[in-house]
Structure 1
Amino acid sequence: MAMLSLASVASHAKQISVSSPDRRTEIVVEVREAITYSVRHNGREILSPSRICLTLGDGTVLGHRSVLQRVQQREIKQVIRPVVKEKSEEILDHCRELALDFAQGFSLIFRAYNDGVAYRFVTRLPGQIIVKAEEATFRFPADCLTYFPEEESFFTHSERLYLHIPLSQITPGRFCSLPALVEIPEGPKVAITESDLEDYPGMYLTGSGDSPNTLVGLFPRYVLQDSARNDRDIVPVRRADFLARTRGERVFPWRVLVIADRDGDLVESQMVYKLARPLELDDTSWIRPGKVAWDWWNALNVYGVDFRAGINTATYKYYIDFASRYGIEYVILDEGWYKLGDLLQVNPDIDMEELTTYARQKNVGLILWVVWKTLDQQMQEALDQFQRWGIKGIKVDFMQRDDQDVVNFYWRVAREAAKRHLIVDFHGAHKPTGLRRAYPNVLTREGVRGMEWSKWSRGASPDNAVTIPFIRMLAGPMDYTPGAMLNATREQFRPIMTLPMSQGTRCHQLAMYVVYESPLQMLSDSPTHYLKEPECMEFLAKVPTVWDETRVLDARVAEYILVARRNGQEWWLGAMTNWTPRDLVVDFSFLGPGRYELQAYQDGINADRCAMDYKRVVKTIVSGHRENIHLAPGGGWAARVIPLDQ
């Protein structure tokens, strides 16, 4: 970390500012009876003075009549090389930081990046403290349209649709999970989320009854008692009148605003990762991103075989054979492999020793699905058993909460899994907040309205599919679970639990493997279907799940997206549209010199009538080539670009 400047400012200063390295964004902090901050971008106020404070259990308010003792500024400029390359092999962490130290035993840290701003509380208090309330305010200068993932309860999978509504309609009775997106009229878009969430409840947003055009933080209170409806739904029934009981000397989560002049900037931003806790593992050589053959979405519907398909050894050997044939790294055993409530009682139709031996011989790793509460109760003995079996990872499901104790559960799982060299996929989960930087064995998580919704509803629509890359994915990888080979137009689609299909075209599905970031990426359809699609499997078998470089070439929130990503010397491209057909131009000026082979999968001429219609085109191109592409309703385009002269 390069400290390029350090300056102390007189303690009587009441207004202090810090600017981003490119000086286009400025945070202005006012310390008076209350502490407020505002944000200017390109000379224009995009966030009006907004009050922040923490109220402790003894009634002390950190941020009310606080005495400023010291002001320091520094410039941070460092290169982060992530263990798991979600967007790029290197991340430039470059910002200017303002640290305000107060006599009441706390500090406020502000950071101004070229693509956003963030702040956090730091306390230096003895012993344990109780945080009774936090005031996190986001007051905008005027009414703005928002993308608001409205929630009904703190007991949630965080899989909401994004309502496109004005701030003025968001009353104190309505609230949403994060991230949320605000469109400044004739200005940038501002995404609100958090980073480095640990030992504290997650933040939601609600309306303000006191100030128009304002969002305020809302937090689930500490759970005193919960009740088990079944093995997975552990519902709070009694809450305390405080948020957290925690260490008095600690850092609190970052409150993050990502500022995007281009919609594509939301996809390229890595602020949440940069603000997260640094790597805590000494050895990461065993962490292996990759693709997964998944059983649950396709309901284990394999056919043309000589065994009875289901949750049994023969069926999973079939999945392993498929994965091995195409170099797919993992197979998941989802719900049904163990007796619910006891991770040590294996389904008698599964011979786990035989299965793990078979998978090892085929160079395929096995991942086991578990219910979170059962894992919590049996963590040591279950994870030890998984390690003895040679299991490579766990999929932890149904947390549905982010109060303090459950947030801590995520960290505990990450640590204990890492000790046993297990990768982790969280489902039924809240949004990512950077845990994966400290524990990169946490490869992905859900917390997104993914393709599973197509089994029972129309919720996984192309409209949703081109919204989530800009908002949910800004927080971190998302396990959308793409890969459907049964594809339907809007009119043809039907939700069928045991024989599911996707909305939109085949190429819409293929493009997701490039557009969506998930270092652990699912192939959610049946191996039988994939085996009947060798041309698509040429793409799916080779497409990477980690990237050395990411460029958004063209994009508009909730309408369409065109992304290029590089892995090694090859480029991969994906384009997706909502239900509106459209024509785009792919400009290959980003390529280096020489000739390249373009292998493109494009919507077929009849894809608007039969969504499975596609065409594979191969041609030679050079840098500067412009490719005109047509996307059908709910359509897509996917391509691999291979250098020929190297």
Structure 2
Amino acid sequence: MKTLFLMVILTAFSFLLSAKDYTLESPSGKVQIKVAIADQISYSVLLDDRVIIAPSQISMEISDGTIWGKDAKVRKAKTTSVSQEITPVVQRKYAKIQDEYKQLTLNFKDYSLQFRAYDEGAAYRWVSAKDGEYKVNSELASFVFPNDCGLWFPEEESMYSHQEREYLREKLSDIGTERFASTGLLADCGNGVKTYISESNLMDYPGMFLRGCDKNDKALVGKFAGVVLETEQTSDRDVKPTKYANYIAECMGPREFPWRAIVISENDAQLVQSELIYKLAPECKIENTNWIKPGKVAWDWWNANNIYGVDFVAGVNTQTYKYYIDFASEYGLEYIILDEGWYVLSDIMQLEKDMDVKALIDYGKEKNVEVILWVVWKALDDKLEEALDQFQAWGAAGIKIDFMQRDDQWMVNFYEKIAAECAKRELLVDYHGAYKPSGLDRAYPNVISYEGVKGLENAKWSNLPDPEHNVTLPFTRMVAGAMDFTPGAMINRNKTNFNDVFTQPMSPGTRCHQLAMYPVFESPLQMLADNPSNYYREPECMEFLSAVPSVWDDTKVLAAKVSDYIAVARRSGDTWYVGAMTDWDARELELNMDFLGEGAYTIKVWKDGLNADKHASDFAQETLEVTSSSTVKVKMAPGGGWAAIIKKK
């Protein structure tokens, strides 16, 4: 009888340990995470006691049959507070980032769960304590909403994707179980509150997509590519998975898994200002970073090397690229790119007959212009060390690596391998044909930018990106990190007379819409996409483009509404640069200058011309005097923009 009584007591005690709720508050108490431990682990997220994420189950199934999160028994719970200042090696929004959060760690038998509460959002991740080899069969990452919210849904047709998507406006209940999107994904929770779902510390693990559920479930659920077992190479750049394993990751020993990140904003400006993805990323793994230099780039591919007014035949040849170097040098641009065509596509070590890369790099150094080399990932991987050693010996500044189109575990590891091997040789990396930033750029700050965005190159063959898409990106894709949109078109058209022309491309929207992208869109390696011959004809615009930096000491969002408009002020040193953009609706904004210090300032403005609604390249300039108490009126044409430089008098 005593034995039976003891068993009942032990069982009840065990249940009390396992069936328990934990609450974690952000430093100000604004954001709360509630974790329920019962037969399944679930979490919920609240903002000022308002449910943002309703109870959502999470789990991870391991190859030995164990399901982490099922019938879990907490062995130890610990809460810690962190307040620190991060100094990014390569700035984006800020010279210093304030990193403050509270963390709850729940330890179980072979694993633990970590939750972090920030005033700007929430995150969780799994941490394994297992030794030896094991596989992750599946992961349940669910995000249940309390109502049928609206979504900005970057829908995918396949997980073999560049992740360059249009953000479709959808209701959660209309998604269904078969449709899925890449991350990050933005949800409208009502009353001005929005939730952005993505991930950080994506290392040695597949990237997360989000699929819908039954319309009654009001949920999004993680979707992951299996480990790739077989591929088929169909061209120099397309290596498609043809067979996946029934598990998603192969693991060895104790390790951390990616953070599932939730940015919460009470107004749209907070989305643009968030650095949550960067804060959750692993710390820098490179000892010497002094050589890493952000800057602007004269880019050849968008304008098809279609220069004119010269005494040589334009094309992929040494003379043409010297012209690009001369242009970059004249306007203080730090880099040019040799894009597709400089090497024989079947062999990265064989130059095309009209190219002398070493001579171009040497010529660039004489002009204080560095050279970045475009490569297809598979051609590089086939001769990785030989090619990178050659690039280093030539004196190249970095690589633009393209067409990966995957984020399964093997490819995620390939990204890190490239970052590490390039860092050894002091080479920058710009990922194209790529998934979104998810922490690698903090661990390896030579990872200077990412594509993973439907950028300006698409205007060569479609009517996107249009102004509405452009004013959606700062609140969606750009929240994840650097965004190589490649702005700078000097041929501009309105909605009715835009046409896609591959070799002489133009942009939908006005000239000042393009100029404003430089303060609005974040990329430490920022392109000037158009033809240098066109830029030479636009000295007033080049006055702005030659001055505007690519990294920032401070950022202020002056006006913001997702998919409608945005205005951003960014400081570099003592100078402020401002960009404002609108969708296809003409718009007037009043921008408060209260971010300025004491005293008088001069503001030089590039604004839509009186006829920009008919002739989108029309622009005008004006110079004003302002103080911190001033309000500046901004008037933008349909698809328009506004840009300014503010200096102390």
Q: 2:87 aligns with which of 81, 92, 100?
A: 81
* Match 1:432 to one of 437, 450, 474: 437
Instruction: From 506, 514, 531, give the equivalent of 1:526.
Output: 531
Question: What's 1:97 paired with?
Answer: 103
Task: Work out whether 1:579 is the aligned partner of 2:557.
Answer: no
- The AA in structure 2 aligned to 1:348 is K
Query: Aligned partners of 2:335, 2:417: CA distance in 1, in Å?
Result: 24
- Taking the aligned partners of 2:22 and 2:462, their CA distance within structure 1 comes to 51
Report the Cα distance in structure 2 between the residues aligned to 1:623 and 1:353, rounded to whole angstroms. 51
Cα distance, 1:185 vs structure 2: 2.2
Residues 11 and 71 (structure 1 numbering): CA distance in 2 closer, same or farther, change over 3 Å?
Answer: farther
Query: Which residue is 1:3 aligned to?
Result: none
Q: Counterpart of 2:252?
A: 247
Matched, 1:148 2:153: yes
Q: Is the partner of 1:590 in helix, strand or coil?
A: coil
Shift of 1:619: 1.8
Unmatched tracts of structure 1, length 5 or more:
1-9
* Residue 180, structure 1, aligned to residue 185, structure 2: yes
Structure 2 counterpart of 1:594, from 595, 599, 602 = 599
Q: SS state of the match for residue 132, structure 2?
A: strand
Which of residues 568, 571, 575 in structure 2 aligns to 1:566?
571
The alpha carbon displacement at 1:356 in A equals: 1.5
1:366: which partner in 2?
A: 371
CA contact (8 A) 1:11 1:71 kept: no
* Structure 1 position 327 matched with structure 2 position 332: yes
* 2:38 is equivalent to residue 32 of structure 1: yes
SS at match of 1:469: helix
Q: Deviations over 1:517-551 (max 9, x none)?
A: 00000000000000011110010001000000011
Question: 1-side partners of 2:59 and 2:149: how far apart?
Answer: 25
- What's the CA shift for 1:211? 5.4
Q: Deviations over 1:477-521 (max 9, x none)?
A: 100000000000011100000000000000000000000000000
Does 1:554 find its partner at 2:556? Answer: no
Q: Structure 1 residue 161: deviation in Å? A: 0.5
Partner of 2:115: 110
**d(CA) in 2 for partners of 1:181 and 1:199?**
25
Q: 3-state DSSP class of the match of 1:597? A: strand
Q: Which residue of 2 aligns with 1:273?
A: 278
Letter aligned with residue 586 of structure 2: P
Note the C-alpha offset of 1:13.
6.3
Residue of structure 1 aligned with 2:65, choices 59, 64, 70: 59
Distance 2:627 2:365 in 1: 42
Which residue is 2:486 aligned to?
A: 481
What residue identity is the alignment partner of 1:234?
A: V
Match in the other structure for 1:447: 452
Distance 1:267 1:370 in 2: 31
Going from structure 1 to structure 2, the CA distance change for 1:12 and 1:354 (only over 3 Å counts) comes to closer
SS in 1 for 2:148: coil
Looking at structure 2, the residues matched to 558 and 395 of structure 1 have their Cα atoms a distance apart, in angstroms, of 30
Task: Give the CA deviation at 1:210.
Answer: 8.5
1:619-644 C-alpha deviation (Å, 9 max, x unpaired): 22211111111110000000000111
Q: Give the CA deviation at 1:604.
A: 0.4
CA contact (8 A) 2:176 2:215 kept: no
Contact kept? 1:11, 1:70, Cα under 8 Å: no
CA distance in 1, matches of 2:364, 2:351: 17
Q: Match for residue 68 of structure 1?
A: 74
Matched residue type, 1:50: S
Q: 1:151–1:177: 8 Å Cα contact kept in structure 2?
A: yes
Distance 1:536 1:492 in 2: 22
Q: 1:304 aligns with which of 301, 309, 318?
A: 309
TM-score by length of structure 2 reads 0.97
- Residue 383 of structure 1 pairs with residue 383 of structure 2: no
**Structure 1 position 43, deviation (Å):** 1.3
Query: Is 2:415 the counterpart of 1:401?
Result: no
Give 1:186 deviation, angstroms.
Answer: 2.2
Offset from partner CA, 1:458-489 (integer Å, 9 cap, x none) = 01100100001101000001000000000000
1:12 deviates by 5.6
Q: Partner letter of residue 72 of structure 1?
A: K
Cα offset, 1:248, TM superposition: 2.9
3-state SS of paired residue (2:422): helix
SS of the residue corresponding to residue 92 of structure 2 reads coil
Runs (5+) with no aligned partner, structure 2? 1-15
TM-superposed deviation, 1:11: 4.4
> Contact (CA 8 Å) 2:192, 2:267: kept in 1 or not?
no
Match of 2:361 in 1: 356
Aligned-pair CA distance for 1:348: 1.2
TM-score normalised by length of structure 1: 0.97
CA shift in 2, pair 1:187/1:532, >3 Å: closer
**Structure 1 contact 224–239 (Cα < 8 Å) conserved:** yes
